[in-house]
Amino acid sequence: MLLAGFGSLLGAFVFPLWIGENAATYADDTAWIQTTFLASAVLGFYTIFKFKKRKNQFVLNRLGILVNFILLGFFVYQSLTISGEAAVSEKGIGLLMPVVSIAFLALANRAIKKDEALVKSADRLR
């Protein structure tokens, strides 16, 4: 979850989304893209501290995956419909940051499920 949060922060502030002829386009050029990246990062960092409530943590991770899928869907739509695409721009690494966040959140959910199963099996032994 920590790596997913850092990935979203890097996508929001460090890595370019598109690299054009004159300048690079970053997420902070569009307010709602930056807000979505930040929401994903805050959600990732917040769920780390919900370790006592694993079910809530699992649900919040799924919400983070949904936010990243929405962001990824917009990026795919934008890259397919941008005008003059062949001569104007190339894709930046910032477009892949939602994919990285989705992968890390899915791995975190798998670990949360294993922890929940371990706790349930220990409760059966009592």
Tens-place pLDDT, residues 14-36:
888 877 777 777 888 888 888 99
27 domain-assigned: yes
Yes or no: say if 13 and 94 are a contact pair by the CB < 8 Å rule. Answer: no
94 domain-assigned: yes
125 domain-assigned: no
Containing 24, the helix (H) or strand (E) segment is strand 24-25
52 domain-assigned: yes
Number of domains in the chain: 1
Q: Can you give the residue range of the structural domain that contains 86?
A: 2-118
76 domain-assigned: yes
- Enter the pTM of the model: 0.85
Tell me, what's the pLDDT at 25? Answer: 78
123 domain-assigned: no
Q: Tell me, what DSSP letter sits at residue 18?
A: E
Digit-coded pLDDT (tens) for 34-92 = 899 999 999 999 999 998 899 999 999 999 999 999 999 988 888 777 665 555 567 77
In terms of C-beta density within 10 A (0-12 exposed, 13-18 middle, 19 or more buried), how is residue 43 classed?
buried
Cα gap 36→71, rounded to integer Å:
7
Tell me, what's the pLDDT at 80? Answer: 79
Cα gap 99→105, rounded to integer Å:
10
